[in-house]
Amino acid sequence: MQFKLSDIGEGIMEVTVKEWYVKEGDKVSQFDSICEVQSDKASVTITSRYDGFIRKLYYDVDSIALVGKPLVDIETEAGQVEGPQEDVVETPAVSQEEHTHQEIKGHKTQATPAVRRLAMENNIKLSEVVGTGKDSRILKEDILNFIARQTGAILPPAPFQEIRPPPPAAVAPSTPAAKPKEKTSPPSIPTPVIPKPVFTGKDHTEPIKGFQKAMVKTMSAALKIPHFGYKDEVDLSLLVRLRSELKGLAESRGVKLSYMPFFIKAASLALLHFPILNSSLDENCTNITYKAAHNIGLAMDTSQGLLVPNVKNVQMLSVFEIAVELNRLQTLGAAGQLGTADLTGGTFTISNIGSIGGTYAKPVILPPEVAIGALGKIQVLPRFNHKGEVVKAHIMNVSWSADHRIIDGATMCRFSNLWISYLENPASMVLDLK
């Protein structure tokens, strides 16, 4: 049987084969991983539909595979397949195989038939859902929560579970015979690994593909936008104190709390007052569409290059819920498994370039969005307080870019001032939280 590459949606007609998990002659069963492919939007692991033996691989690693064309030949037993396979590409919205045979890299997607049916009915790829059950099994609640994040639906609250702090570590009772602890030498500081420069000795040419190909297309479109830049600084001293108080509580709930959830929520609160920054402009520049949802993207540096997943419906989420979603996106990004749903639909973007270094930047707008912000690193610097005294302050620089065709400087300035006010006085956010 010729195992053909199915349609993975978004109008994608070709993908790059990144890794083969089988070779010719290997025995495979249903749901066994065959290969990982990458489009300009997402990576997907393809698994077998049949039990049998691999007889032919049609592509080498880094080759371009075409949708609807054979991927491998699998020798199967008679009766496994009813009738000849048609030379057609399945439609993602109705293809059960699309949901059943795509999985998280290196791990089978575990779910009951009822959960798989629920995912199929809602056109959800199981590879894009993080399972919370035993051995990462996907539960019905995981599907419902995924739907809620995509549509902004409000689900009934789960039964309250008391969050208890971890028990204190047992301390051995001291006895007169107990010997004082010997002084131990401080742990040795590991020597930093310095990457060696890559020098091949000769020039070489390679095709642009995958996410890099998508970046070329997006940035070429961004060149048509007249960018207006605006920069300022933020005193995060109070926010630094607040986060330090909440960090332990978030960790007790299994969530890492960074500053980014506060930055994202403050942006959403400010967008409520300046909705034109959460809009899009059509190609003919004749209509502005004001977006109801605040799908705020986060520029993420991954092994696959620059990706911009977004947190859906931030206007309906708490700071803690944003942190939970960011943890999920960062986990998928590190594994190279961000799905199409996570990478599309953004309405506003924040780039945290300060996590790598630097203070100011000139961020480039991601069409069809009309604004983007870049955050610098947080520095401890001297500043004057209201009494004229020099104090230690935690300062971060922010750089905004806006589409000057529809956004003027005054609007960008007022939005930035409001966003800064929420962060410099985080208690004020409580008044506007929904």
The residue type found at 7 is D
Q: Residue 394 — pLDDT band, cuts 50, 70, 90?
A: very high
Task: Measure the CA–CA gap between 227 and 405, rounded to whole angstroms.
Answer: 9
**404 part of the active site:** yes
- C-alpha distances in angstroms, 206 versus 203, 262, 313? 10, 41, 39
Return d(Cα 96, Cα 15) in angstroms, integer.
Answer: 21
Question: What is the domain-level CATH number for residue 414?
Answer: 3.30.559.10
> Residue 191: its pLDDT value, please?
67
Q: With respect to residue 384, please indicate whether it lies within any of the assigned structural domains.
A: yes
| Domain extent for 298 | 227-431
Is 204 an active-site residue?
Answer: no
| Residue 301 pLDDT level (bands cut at 50, 70, 90) | confident
Q: Among 4-8, 77-81, 318-322, 349-353, where is mean pLDDT lowest?
A: 77-81
The closest of 241, 246, 225, 257 to 363, measured between CA atoms, is: 225
Distance CA 91, CA 68 (A): 11
Q: How many residues does the chain have?
A: 434
Q: What pLDDT is attached to residue 169?
A: 46
- Do the bridges between strand 288-290 and strand 296-302 make them parallel or antiparallel, or are there none, so unpaired? unpaired
Residue 101 lies in a domain: no
Residue pair 48/31 in contact (Cβ under 8 Å)? The answer is: yes
Q: Tell me the range of 108-117, 199-208, 355-364 where mean pLDDT is highest.
A: 355-364
* Residue at 346 is within a domain: yes
Rounded to whole angstroms, how far apart are CA atoms 208 and 216? 9
CA pair distance 334, 303, nearest whole angstrom: 7
Per-residue model confidence (pLDDT) at position 284: 86
Query: Which 8-state DSSP code applies to residue 57?
Result: E
| 295 pLDDT more than 60 | yes
Q: How confident is the model at residue 260 (pLDDT cuts 50, 70, 90)?
A: very high
Percentage above 70 pLDDT, the chain: 77
Rounded CA-CA distance 58/148 in Å is 40
CATH number at residue 69: 2.40.50.100
DSSP output for 4-34: EPPP-STT--EEEEEEES--TT-EE-TT-EE
**Mean pLDDT, the chain, integer:** 80
The predicted structure's pLDDT at residue 99:
37
Q: How confident is the model at residue 77 (pLDDT cuts 50, 70, 90)?
A: confident
- How many C-beta atoms lie closer than 10 Å to residue 405's C-beta? 13
For residue 324, tell me if it sits in a domain: yes
Cis-peptide, bond into residue 190, ω within 30° of zero: no
In this structure, the number of other CB atoms found within 10 A of the CB of residue 6 comes to 22
pLDDT at 324 over 60: yes
pLDDT at residue number 351: 94
Q: Does pLDDT of 101 surpass 80?
A: no
Higher pLDDT, 417 or 153: 417
Confidence of residue 139 (pLDDT cuts 50, 70, 90): confident
Q: Is the pLDDT of residue 281 over 50?
A: yes
Q: Is 230 exposed, middle or buried (0-12, 13-18, 19+ CB in 10 A)?
A: middle
pLDDT of residue 311: 96
| Helices (H), ranges, 47-181 | 96-100, 113-121, 140-151
Q: What is the per-residue pLDDT for 88?
A: 30
CB distance 149 to 166 below 8 Å:
no
Beta-bridge mates of residue 43? 38
Q: State the average pLDDT over residues 348-356.
A: 91
Question: In this predicted structure, which of 172-176, 229-233, 310-314, 354-358 has the lowest mean pLDDT?
Answer: 172-176
pLDDT of res. 199: 61
Q: HSE on the CB side for 328, CA within 13 Å?
A: 22
**Overall number of domains in the chain:** 2
Say if 279 falls within a structural domain.
Answer: yes
* Secondary structure class of 70 (helix, strand, coil): strand
The string of pLDDT tens digits covering residues 147-196 is 766 655 444 444 333 334 444 444 444 444 444 445 555 555 666 667 76
pLDDT at 274: 97
Question: Does 258 have pLDDT greater than 90?
Answer: yes
Model confidence band, residue 202 (pLDDT cutoffs 50, 70, 90): confident
Q: CA angle 216-221-224, nearest 5°?
A: 135
Residue at which a domain ends, from 33, 52, 75: 75
Average pLDDT rounded to a whole number, residues 423-432: 90
Q: Which residues of 361-371 are buried (b: 16+ CB within 10 A; e: fewer)?
A: bebbbbbbbbb
Residue 219 has pLDDT above 80, yes or no: yes
Report residue 302: phi and psi, to 5°.
-125, 175
Q: Which residue in 66, 25, 71, 18 sits closest to 49, CA to CA?
A: 71
What amino acid occupies position 216?
Answer: V
Q: Which of 30, 48, 75 is the last residue of a domain?
A: 75
Does the residue 369 lie in any domain? Answer: yes
Residue 309 pLDDT > 70: yes
Q: Which residue has the higher pLDDT, 391 or 162?
A: 391
| Residue 377 placed within a domain | yes
Q: Could you count the other beta carbons within 10 Å of the beta carbon of residue 195?
A: 5
For residue 187, the model assigns a pLDDT of 53
Q: Taking Cα atoms as reference points, which of 404, 345, 369, 372 lies closest to residue 279?
A: 369
Q: Give the model confidence (pLDDT) of 12-46 as tens digits.
A: 788 888 888 899 999 888 878 888 888 776 777 78
Say if 233 falls within a structural domain: yes
Q: What is the pLDDT of residue 94?
A: 30
Q: What is the pLDDT of residues 399-410, one digit of tens each?
A: 999 999 999 999
Query: What pLDDT, in 10s, does the model give residues 103-136?
Result: 444 445 677 666 776 777 777 877 778 777 766 7
Domain end (from 45, 75, 105): 75
